[in-house]
Structure 1
Amino acid sequence: MTRDTSTEKNLVQEHKQHATADGSVSPYVNTNDPSSKRSLRWKRYLAIVVVLILVLGLALGLGLGLGLRHSSKAGSDSPTRSPTPSNPQTPSEESQASLSIPPWRSNVEDYILDMASWDFNAPPSTREYNFTLSEVQLSPDGVFRTMIAINGRFPGPLIRANTGDRLIINVQNNLPNGTAIHWHGLFQNGTNWMDGTSGITQCPIPPGGRFTYNFTVENQFGTYWYHTHYSTTNGDGPVGPLIIHSPDEVKLQKYYDVDQVVLMQDWYHDYSQALLPDYLASGSENGEPVPDNGLILGTNYFNCSKLGPDSGYVCEQNSTRAALTVEHGKRYRYRLINTGAFATFEFSIDNHPLSIIEADGTATEPLAVHRLEIAVAQRYSVVLTANQSTASNYWMRAQMNTFCFGDDNPLLDADVRALITYTNSTIEPTNSIDWKDALDVECVGLNSSLLTPFFRTEAPPATVFYALAANFQIGDYAIDRAYINGTSWTMSNVPTLNQAVAGLQSSNSTFTTSGVSSAFSANQYVIDVPDIAVVDLLITNYDEGGHPFHLHGHSFWVVATSPDQYFDWSTYSALNTTLPNVMKRDTIMIDAYGWALIRFVADNPGLWALHCHISWHMESGLLMQFQTRNDIMKTWELPADVLGLCAT
Structure 2
Amino acid sequence: MGLRHKKASAGGGHSTSGISPNSTNGTSGTSPDISENRPSWRRDPLEYNLDRSWDINAAPTTRVFNLTSSEIQAAPDGVLRPLFVINGQFPGPLIRVNQGDRVLVNVTNQLSNGTSMHWHGFYQNGTNWMDGTVGITQCAIPPGESFLYDFTVKQFGTYWYHSHFSSQYTDGLVGPFIVHSPEESKIQEMYDYDQVVLLQDYYHDLSAALLPGYLSSGNENAEPLPDNGLIQGTNFFNCSSYDSDSGYACDQNSTRAIFNVAQGKRYRFRLINTGAFGEFQVSIDNHTIQVIEADSTLVHPVTVNRLPIHVAQRYSILFHANQTTTNYWFRARMNDYCFSDQNPVLDTDVRALITYTNSTSDPAPTESVDWTYALDTACEDLAPSSLIPYDPLPAPQVDITYPIEISFQIGDFALDKAYINSTTWVPPAIPTLNQAVAGLQVNNANFTTSGVSTAFDSSQLVIDVPTYKVIDVLINSLDEGAHPFHLHGHQFWIMASGAHGAFNWNSYPTLNMTNPMRRDTITVDAFGWALIRFKADNPGLWALHCHISWHMEAGLLMQFQTRNDIMRGWAVPSDVLALCHVK
Identify the TM-score tier after normalising by the shorter chain.
over 0.9
Q: Which of 17, 37, 41 is equivalent to 1:100?
A: 37
Structure 1 partner of 2:531: 597
Provide TM-score, normalisation by structure 1. Answer: 0.84
2:265 is aligned with 1:298: no
Partner Cα separation in structure 2 for residue 629 and residue 438 of structure 1: 47
Deviation, 1:147, is 1.3
- Other structure's SS at 1:153 match: coil
Matches of 1:572 and 1:395 in 2, distance apart? 44
Match of 1:115 in 2: 52
Amino acid at match of 1:202: Q
Task: Identify which range, 566-575 or 622-631, moves more after superposition.
Answer: 566-575
Amino acid at match of 1:608: W
8 Å CA contact 1:357–1:364 kept in 2: the answer is yes
C-alpha change, 1:267 and 1:67, in structure 2 (3 Å) is farther
Contact 1:66 1:323 in 2 (8 A): no
Q: CA deviation at 1:216?
A: 0.4
Shift of 1:519: 0.1
Deviation (angstroms), 1:448:
1.6
- Structure number with bigger Rg: 1
Shift of 1:606: 0.2
> For 1:261, which of 190, 196, 215 is the aligned residue?
196
SS at match of 1:321: coil
Alignment of 1:212-231 (within 5 A): 212-218=148-154, 220-231=155-166
Distance 1:107 1:395, change over 3 A: same
Q: How does 1:553-592 map to 2 (within 5 A)?
A: 553-575=489-511, 579-592=513-526
1:329 matched to 2:264? The reply is yes
Structure with the bigger RCO (C-alpha within 8 Å, sep 6+) is: 2
Between the aligned partners of 2:376 and 2:120, the Cα distance in structure 1 is: 27
Match of 2:122 in 1: 186
Q: 1:529-544 residue pairs with structure 2 within 5 A? A: 529-544=465-480
**What's 1:519 paired with?**
455
In the alignment, does 2:485 pair up with 1:549? yes
Pairing partner for 1:528 from 434, 458, 464: 464
| Distance in 1, Cα, partners of 2:385 & 2:316 | 17
Q: How does 1:69-218 map to 2 (within 5 A)?
A: 100-116=37-53, 118-218=54-154
Mapped partners of 1:63, 1:260: distance in 2: 11
Q: Matches of 2:298 and 2:137 in 1, distance apart? A: 29
User: Within the alignment, does 1:647 sit opposite 2:567 as a pair?
Assistant: no
Shift >6 Å, 4+ stretches: none
Aligned alpha-carbon RMSD (Å): 1.2
1:336 to 1:65, Cα distance in 2 relative to 1, 3 A: farther
Q: Which residue of 2 aligns with 1:404?
A: 338
Contact preservation (8 Å) 2:487, 2:544: yes
Which residue does 2:560 correspond to in 1? 626
1:637 match: 571
* Deviation, structure 1 residue 572: 1.9
Aligned to 1:64: 31
Pick from 353, 368, 376: which aligns with 2:303?
368
Task: Answer yes or no: is the 8 Å Cα contact 2:291–2:317 preserved in 1.
Answer: yes
Post-superposition offset of 1:479: 0.6
Offset at 1:449?
Answer: 1.5
Structure 2 unaligned residues grouped into runs of 5+: 1-28
Q: Residue type matched to 1:64 in 2?
A: S
Deviation at 1:563, TM superposition (A): 1.0
Instruction: Report deviation, 1:530.
Output: 3.6
Structure 1 residue 407: Cα displacement: 1.2
Aligned twin of 1:473: 409
Amino acid at match of 2:31: L
1:67, 1:322 within 8 Å by CA — same for their partners in 2?
no
Cα offset for 1:541?
0.9
Amino acid at match of 1:469: E
Counting aligned pairs with the same residue, the percent is 61
Matching residue of 2:243: 308
CA contact (8 A) 1:364 1:451 kept: yes
Structure 1 unaligned segments of length 5 or more: list them.
1-61, 69-98
Measure the CA separation in 2 of the matches of 1:335 and 1:112. 10
What TM-score results when the alignment is normalised by the length of structure 2? 0.93
SS in 1 for 2:272: strand
SS of the aligned residue for 2:566 comes to: helix
Give the paired residue count: 552
Letter in 1 for 2:129: W
Equivalents in 2 of 1:566, 1:333: separation in Å?
38
Cα distance in 2 for partners of 1:327, 1:254 equals 17
Contact conserved, 1:166 with 1:216, CA < 8 A, in 2? Answer: yes
CA distance in 1, matches of 2:288, 2:307: 11
Equivalent residue for 2:423, pick from 487, 498, 501? 487
Find the aligned partners of 2:42 and 2:83 in 1 and give their Cα distance: 13
User: Partner letter of residue 148 of structure 1?
Assistant: F
Deviation at 1:233, TM superposition (A): 0.7
Q: 1:445 offset after TM fit, Å? A: 2.1
Counterpart of 2:446 in 1: which secondary structure? Answer: helix
Post-superposition shift, 1:567?
1.7
Offset, 1:66: 5.9
Q: Deviations over 1:133-161 (max 9, x none)?
A: 00111100000101110000000000000
CA contact 1:471–1:543 (8 Å) conserved in 2:
yes
Look up the equivalent residue of 2:378 and give its one-letter code.
E
Q: Does the CA contact (< 8 Å) of 1:155 and 1:238 recur in 2?
A: yes
| Equivalent residue, structure 2, for 1:28 | none
Match runs of 1:380-395 below 5 Å: 380-390=315-325, 392-395=326-329
CA distance in 2, matches of 1:592, 1:379: 22
SS at match of 2:187: helix
Contact 1:540 1:565 survives alignment (8 Å)? no
| Residue pair 1:111, 1:261 contacting (<8 A) in 2 also | yes
Distance in 2 between residues matched to 1:125 and 1:597, nearest whole Å: 38
- The one of 214, 219, 233 aligned to 2:168: 233
Match of 1:289 among 224, 230, 245: 224
2: CA distance between counterparts of 1:373 and 1:65?
A: 31
Identify the residue that residue 14 of structure 2 maps to in structure 1: none
The alignment partner of 1:316 has SS state of: coil
Hey, which of these two has a bigger chunk of helix by percent?
1
1:422 paired to 2:356: yes
Quick one: distance in 1 between partners of 2:462 and 2:573?
23
Counterpart code for 2:432: T
